[in-house]
Every structure is written in C-alpha cells, then in structure tokens.
C-alpha cells in the first residue's frame, strides 16, 4: 500500500475532527472577569473558532483559536454576552458552553 500526501492529510483531518475541539473566551492578561468555554465533539478548534468569529460576538477579539475580551469590558457569567456565546455555541453546531466565574476559580463559593 502506497501512502500519498493526500491520504495522509485526509487521515490527519479525520483523526483531528474526531477528537473535536474547544475555544475559550477569557479576559485579557491581568484583567478581571469570567471565562466561557465552547466545546464541540465534532468540530476541531480552528473551524470552531472560525464559526464563532463569524457570529460577531461583541466585546472580544480572536487571538489564535481563542477569544480575549476587550480591556475595557469585564465579562461576567449570566450577562447578555454569555447568552450570545451560548446561542452561537450550542444551537447551530451542537456544542456545549460552560461559564466559569473568576471568583469560583479562586475558591470562592458563589
């Protein structure tokens, strides 16, 4: 059996897409705020990030395959932006979104 570059790239694509991916929406370094993660079992990180970028979610910028909230915006779980992210992640692509409060991450119970 002879392997071609095409068959190798298709195999890698299928392997990677089977693993799925996740994309984070997080505050800029040193900024306060909560974090949202959108996870898909069917779509890899890059395709997932591209889809979410096309949804034009306010107050964030794509950096690689993740998103960073603008410096002047403090994201909190439960607000309108979280609803936008949840709707973009869950409905059309069957993903799952979770929001993690910065205070919960620091060991403070909500």
Write the DSSP assignment of 67-96 as a string of letters. EEE-TT----TTSHHHHHHHHHHHTTT--E
Written as six digits, the tokens of 59 are 């107050």
**Model-level pTM?**
0.74
Among 8-17, 48-57, 85-94, the least confident range? 8-17
Q: What is the mean pLDDT of residues 30-47?
A: 93
Relative to beta strand 96-100, strand 60-63 is unpaired
Domain map of the chain by residue range? 20-102
Whole-angstrom distance, CA of residue 73 vs CA of residue 26 = 11
| In the chain, % of residues over pLDDT 70 | 76
Rounded mean pLDDT, 80-92: 90
Q: Reply yes or no on whether the pLDDT at 108 is more than 50.
A: no
């Amino acid at each position: 059996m002879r392997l071609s570059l095409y068959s190798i790239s298709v195999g890698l694509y299928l392997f990677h897409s089977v693993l799925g991916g996740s994309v984070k929406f997080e505050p800029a370094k040193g900024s306060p705020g909560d974090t949202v993660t959108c996870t898909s079992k069917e779509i890899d990180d890059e395709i997932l990030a591209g889809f979410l970028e096309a949804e034009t979610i306010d107050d964030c910028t794509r950096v690689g395959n993740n998103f960073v909230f603008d410096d002047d915006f403090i994201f909190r779980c439960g607000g309108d932006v979280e609803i936008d992210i949840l709707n973009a992640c869950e409905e059309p692509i069957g993903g799952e979104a979770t929001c993690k409060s910065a205070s919960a991450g620091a060991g403070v119970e909500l």
